[in-house]
């Protein structure tokens, strides 16, 4: 009677079990979002459970290296993961667990959760379901055990030879499905890593096909193209992408090259920034050639640093020359000047000699000797300024007051120039600049040079000079702009070189801007030039608002 009662209770519980094990709407939605490999394993365990008429069925994967057991698919369990399609990962611990993980043939475990041999702690999911007997079939693929098929019964169960063979056959099917799932997971993980790596590259990267159409782009490329997502770049032509990045002219020029050819070149965008572009052809994709990967990186700062380094090296070379011969040249120049001036005085003090000097132009020759000797001394002084490692002072300096004072001094100087047009001066001072910590004397010397060059650039036609101050974050700038004829690009690239000058012979040594650059660097700043033919020139002195680290007061 008790046995019959148990059967009756069991039968009454069956509908509740069925209702309990029926997937909810959320479970069905989760199943629809599962990858194909998980769906396949789910189908396998459902099939196994139906064929052998078990209470539960599951497929697990073992990892002896990580000492974990992962439940890949479950049927007949109440666990939330079984409903949502998620995986359950548990630690692989205990002698029984290790024995199960290394089994090579079908095992039947009886008394699960109630016997000392198979304690509930090592079978938590099955014990929670009231499973007392588990048939475990190892799943082997490519010569190794990759997991197990677990078939659970809530009552004791004896397996016939036919049932064992059936389970082993089902295990082969499950092993194939699990191995395929593992391969798909490996490929999927590799794909995710590749995509994350692709998007993590800070340079722009696009892939184009034989028709020069973008097929893939990374996140940096999308951002540079002004797009919200990399997928929006797909379908653009390379010419359109180049036009967005560097302008229409750059696209028209560089997109005429042969598709698929390896190349590397530098492009200057319309905003002035420089980019290094590299084109690398791909091997034939889908039987077609002409596919390539195009990468580009912003090298503006690197180019500026390289140019600055090149200038510094040139200045260092000139400095070594000046340090070696500057003083030695000044000594004979001083003797020449003294002798010429003494001879000139003697001639002027003697009437007979003075008369002869007028006829033979001795006065002119001697005066010219003095003028040229003094000019040579100015050049050597510039060389010595270039060579000296001057240590800048760090004192409060009102930059606006310095700029205004220099303009006030220059106005009468420019109005007195012979054969030169009128020059008007404009001041545009940023009141937010305030006081900065710098060497006022060096700043005055730099700006004096820039104002002199600006006045010379206006020549006989005259024009306007604007002096502008501005604050930008932790830096301030002083601009000296003129409305002259401008500087050609090939000349602009050399204006900071020592001895390079566009002035007439005898009117410039070519050291002014080179010395100004050296002084700017001593202040912890820099000097930059911008110019266009027919649109004037702008020279900008950058200075730190606060004294840079390492700048110390002179003692």
Give the per-residue pLDDT at 494: 79
Torsion angle, alpha carbons of 31, 32, 36, 42, to 10: 30
Q: Comparing C-alpha atoms, which of 142, 133, 143, 140 is closest to residue 163?
A: 133
Which position has the token pair 């394993």?
A: 41
Which position has the token pair 């040139």?
A: 314
Give the per-residue pLDDT at 14: 38
Give the per-residue pLDDT at 57: 93
Ranges of beta strands (E only) in 227-289 are 263-268, 274-281
And the tokens for 23?
A: 């997937």
Is there a contact between 271 and 246 (Cβ–Cβ < 8 Å)?
Answer: no
Is there a contact between 148 and 103 (Cβ–Cβ < 8 Å)?
Answer: yes
Per-residue model confidence as pLDDT tens digits over 432-482: 888 888 888 889 889 988 998 888 888 777 889 999 999 888 889 999 999
Distance CA 236, CA 247 (A): 15
Give the per-residue pLDDT at 1: 33
The pLDDT tens digits along the chain (555 residues) read 333 333 333 333 333 443 434 444 444 444 444 566 778 888 888 988 999 899 999 998 887 778 888 888 899 988 554 444 557 888 877 766 777 777 788 888 999 989 888 888 888 889 889 999 999 988 888 878 888 899 999 998 888 888 888 888 888 888 888 888 878 877 877 888 888 888 889 999 999 988 889 999 999 999 989 999 999 999 999 889 988 888 887 777 777 655 556 788 888 887 778 888 888 888 766 667 788 899 999 888 787 777 777 766 766 676 666 666 666 777 788 888 888 888 888 888 887 777 777 777 888 888 888 888 887 777 677 666 666 656 677 888 899 999 998 888 888 776 655 656 688 899 999 988 888 888 888 898 899 889 988 888 887 778 899 999 998 888 899 999 999 888 888 788 778 877 777 666 555 566 778 888 888 888 888 888 888 888 889 999 999 876 544 454 443
Distance CA 431, CA 340 (A): 52
Distance CA 425, CA 454 (A): 11
Q: How far apart are the first and last CA of the chain?
A: 111
Which position has the token pair 């959760």?
A: 113
What is residue 482's three-state secondary structure?
strand
* pTM as predicted: 0.43
And the tokens for 392?
A: 């800048």
Ranges of beta strands (E only) in 27-67 are 56-63
Which position has the token pair 């240590």?
A: 391
Is there a contact between 214 and 235 (Cβ–Cβ < 8 Å)?
Answer: yes
Q: Comparing C-alpha atoms, which of 234, 223, 224 is closest to residue 271?
A: 224
Quote helix, strand, coil % in the chain, to nearest 5.
50, 20, 30
How far apart, in Å, are the Cα atoms of 461 and each of 275, 408, 453, 508? 39, 21, 15, 20
Give the per-residue pLDDT at 3: 36
**Domains observed in the chain:** 12-191 (3.30.450.40), 201-298 (3.30.450.20), 299-388 (1.10.287), 391-555 (3.30.565.10)
Element (H, E) at 149: strand 144-153
And the tokens for 488?
A: 């050609």
And the tokens for 222?
A: 């999308």
Q: Are strands 292-298 and 144-153 parallel, antiparallel or unpaired?
A: unpaired
What is residue 277's three-state secondary structure?
strand
Please provide residue 194's backbone torsions phi and psi, each rounded to the nearest 5 degrees: -60, -45
And the tokens for 529?
A: 């030039």
Distance CA 420, CA 424 (A): 12
CB neighbours of 140 closer than 8 A, spacing ≥ 6? 104, 146, 175
Ranges of beta strands (E only) in 192-304 are 204-208, 214-217, 263-268, 274-281, 292-298
Distance CA 82, CA 150 (A): 14
Which position has the token pair 């050399």?
A: 494
Distance CA 268, CA 397 (A): 37
Element (H, E) at 541: strand 537-544
Q: What would you report as the CA-atom Rg of the chain, rounded to the nearest whole angstrom?
A: 43
Please provide residue 283's backbone torsions phi and psi, each rounded to the nearest 5 degrees: -65, 160
DSSP of 86-102, one letter per residue? --EEEE--SHHHHHHHT
Per-residue model confidence as pLDDT tens digits over 27-69: 444 444 456 677 888 888 898 899 989 999 999 888 777 888 8
CB neighbours of 454 closer than 8 A, spacing ≥ 6? 465, 480, 481, 482, 484, 537, 539
And the tokens for 244?
A: 């967005």
CB neighbours of 415 closer than 8 A, spacing ≥ 6? 422, 423
């Amino acid at each position: 009677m008790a046995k019959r009662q148990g059967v009756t209770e069991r039968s009454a519980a069956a509908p509740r079990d069925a209702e309990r094990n029926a997937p909810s709407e959320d479970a069905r939605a989760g199943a629809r979002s599962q990858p194909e490999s998980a769906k396949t394993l789910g189908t396998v365990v459902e099939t196994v459970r139906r064929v052998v008429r078990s209470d539960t069925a599951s497929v697990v994967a073992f990892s002896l290296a990580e000492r974990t057991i992962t439940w890949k698919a479950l049927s007949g369990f109440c666990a939330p993961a079984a409903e949502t399609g998620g995986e359950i990962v548990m630690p692989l611990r205990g002698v029984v667990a290790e024995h199960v993980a290394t089994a090579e043939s079908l095992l039947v475990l009886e008394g699960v959760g109630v016997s000392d041999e198979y304690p509930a702690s090592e079978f938590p999911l099955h014990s929670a379901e009231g499973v007392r007997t588990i048939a475990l079939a190892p799943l082997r693929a490519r010569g190794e055990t990759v997991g197990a098929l677990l078939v659970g019964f809530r009552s004791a169960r004896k397996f016939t030879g036919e049932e064992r063979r059936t389970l082993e056959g089902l295990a082969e099917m499950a092993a194939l499905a699990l191995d395929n799932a593992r391969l798909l997971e490996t490929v999927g993980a590799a794909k995710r890593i590749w995509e994350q790596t692709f998007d993590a590259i800070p340079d722009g990267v696009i892939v184009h096909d034989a028709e020069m159409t973008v097929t893939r782009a990374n996140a940096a490329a999308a951002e540079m193209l002004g797009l919200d997502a990399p997928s929006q770049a797909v379908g653009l032509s390379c010419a359109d992408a180049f036009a967005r990045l560097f302008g229409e002219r750059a696209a028209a020029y560089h997109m005429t090259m042969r598709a698929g050819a390896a190349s590397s070149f530098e492009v200057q965008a319309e905003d002035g920034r420089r980019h290094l572009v590299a084109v690398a052809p791909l091997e034939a994709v889908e039987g077609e050639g002409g596919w390539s990967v195009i990468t580009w990186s912003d090298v503006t700062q690197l180019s500026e640093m390289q140019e600055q380094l090149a200038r510094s090296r040139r200045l260092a070379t000139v400095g070594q020359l000046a340090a070696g011969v500057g003083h030695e040249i000044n000594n004979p120049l001083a003797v020449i000047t003294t002798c010429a001036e003494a001879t000139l005085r003697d001639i002027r003090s003697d009437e007979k000699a003075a008369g002869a000097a007028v006829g033979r132009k001795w006065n002119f020759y001697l005066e010219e000797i003095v003028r040229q000797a003094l000019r040579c001394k100015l050049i050597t002084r510039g060389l010595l300024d270039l060579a000296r490692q001057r240590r800048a002072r760090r004192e409060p300096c009102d930059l606006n007051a310095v700029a205004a004072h220099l303009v006030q001094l220059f106005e009468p100087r420019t109005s007195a120039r012979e054969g030169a047009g009128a020059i008007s001066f404009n001041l545009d001072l940023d009141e937010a600049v305030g006081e900065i910590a710098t060497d006022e004397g060096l700043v005055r010397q730099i700006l004096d040079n820039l104002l002199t060059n600006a006045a010379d650039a206006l020549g006989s036609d005259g024009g306007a000079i604007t002096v502008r101050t501005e604050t930008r974050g932790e830096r301030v700038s002083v601009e000296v702009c003129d409305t002259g004829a401008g500087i050609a690009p090939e000349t602009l690239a050399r204006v900071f070189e020592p001895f390079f000058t566009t002035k007439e012979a005898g009117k410039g040594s070519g050291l002014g801007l080179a010395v100004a650059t050296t002084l700017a660097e001593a202040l912890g700043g820099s000097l930059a030039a911008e110019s266009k033919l027919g649109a004037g020139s702008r020279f900008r002195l950058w200075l730190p608002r606060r004294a840079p680290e390492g700048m110390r007061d002179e003692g």
